[in-house]
Amino acid sequence: MKLIPSLLTAALLFSAGVAHAGVLVGGTRLIYNGAKKESSLSVSNPDKVPYLIQSWIETTGSGAEKAPFMITPPLFRLDGGQDNVLRLVRTGGNLPENQETLYWLNIKSIPSTVKQQDRNTLQVAVKTRIKLIYRPQGIKGVPEDMAQSLKWQVTGKQLKVTNSTPFYMNFLQVKLGNTEVDDATYVAPMSSANFALPAGASGNNVQWKIISDYGGIGPEHSVSL
C-alpha cells in the first residue's frame, strides 16, 4: 500500500511518539526578574533513553541581534529519569526599565538511537519554544493587576486592543459577543495589537482572559464597546 506524504509523516511521528515520551520543560513561560542575578528553568527526562539537550535565546526581531542573556549549560546530555536546571544570566543590553521586554527561549531535545541490523530507525528532534519575559526591577505587581485596563475597539474586520501597562498581556481567550477571536495571542506593553475577527462576529461586549506568570488562567474580564 502506498502512503501519501502527509500520511507517511503522520505515521512516522506517531511511531516516534510511542517510542519516546519526550523531555518535559518546567514551565510555559519564564519571567526574568530584573532584581535577581539569574533565573532558572527545570528540564526533566521521564523516558528511559538519554537525550541531547540544546538551548538558546532569540530576540523577537528578524535581524542578527543577539539576546543579552547567557544560558548554561547550552548543550548537555540528559539521561533517562534525570533532571537538570537551565540557568539564565543577563549579560548586558540596553533594555527599557519602564516596561517588559520579550525574548524566545528555545529548547531542542534529540533522543539517542541504538543501531539495529535490518531495521530502519527514526530520530525526531523536538523543539520547545517559550516566552522569556524580562521584567525590570522597578515594575511592581503582575499583569493580572492591570488586565482590566486594556482598551478595545472594532475597526472594520479587526479587533484592536491598546495596552497602556508595562506588562505583556498574553491572552488565553478573547471573545466579541459570543464569538471567540481565534488568533488573539498577546499585546506588548505601551502598544496596540490587531486581531482578525471571524466571519459573522458581532456584539458590543468584549471578554478576555489572560495567562499568568506561571501559566495559570486568570478570571474573565469584560467591557462594553
pLDDT in tens, 180-209: 999 999 999 999 999 999 998 988 999 999
- The verdict on 100 and 117 lying in the same domain is yes
What's the pLDDT score for residue 169?
Answer: 98
- The verdict on 123 and 153 lying in the same domain is no
What's the pLDDT score for residue 61?
Answer: 82
What is the spatial distance between Cα 28 and Cα 34, in angstroms, rounded to a whole number? 19
Find the domain containing 42 and state its range: 5-135
3-state percent helix, strand, coil for the chain, nearest multiple of 5: 10, 45, 45
Least Cα distance to 22 among 115, 107, 148 occurs for: 107
- The verdict on 201 and 178 lying in the same domain is yes
| Low-confidence residues of the chain: pLDDT under 50 | 1-20
What's the pLDDT score for residue 18?
Answer: 36
Q: What is the CATH number of the domain that holds 108?
A: 2.60.40.10
What is the spatial distance between Cα 58 and Cα 64, in angstroms, rounded to a whole number? 9
> How confident is the model over 164-182, as pLDDT tens digits?
999 999 999 999 999 999 9
* Other C-beta atoms lying within 10 Å of the C-beta of residue 94: 6
For the question of whether the overall pTM of this predicted structure is more than 0.75, the answer is yes
What's the pLDDT score for residue 64?
Answer: 75
H or E segment to which residue 215 belongs = none
Which pairing describes strands 29-33 and 126-135: parallel, antiparallel, or unpaired? parallel
- The verdict on 84 and 53 lying in the same domain is yes
Question: Where among 135, 153, 171 does a domain terminate?
Answer: 135
- The verdict on 87 and 108 lying in the same domain is yes
Identify each DSSP E strand in 51-167 by its residue range: 51-59, 69-72, 75-78, 83-90, 101-111, 126-135, 151-155, 158-163
What's the pLDDT score for residue 16?
Answer: 35
- The verdict on 128 and 163 lying in the same domain is no
What's the pLDDT score for residue 2?
Answer: 42
- The verdict on 107 and 203 lying in the same domain is no
What's the pLDDT score for residue 113?
Answer: 74
- The verdict on 127 and 159 lying in the same domain is no
Beta bridge mates, 84: 43
What's the pLDDT score for residue 17?
Answer: 35
Question: Where among 106, 135, 164 does a domain terminate?
Answer: 135
Tally of structural domains, the chain? 2
CB 170 within 8 A of CB 29: yes
What's the pLDDT score for residue 41?
Answer: 97
What's the pLDDT score for residue 117?
Answer: 58
User: 33 is written with which cell numbers?
Assistant: 526578574
CB 130 within 8 A of CB 28: yes
What is the spatial distance between Cα 27 and Cα 23, in angstroms, rounded to a whole number? 12
- The verdict on 121 and 159 lying in the same domain is no
Question: Where among 135, 158, 179 does a domain terminate?
Answer: 135
- The verdict on 94 and 192 lying in the same domain is no
- The verdict on 128 and 184 lying in the same domain is no
Phi, psi (degrees; rounded to nearest 5) at 12: -65, -45
- The verdict on 111 and 49 lying in the same domain is yes
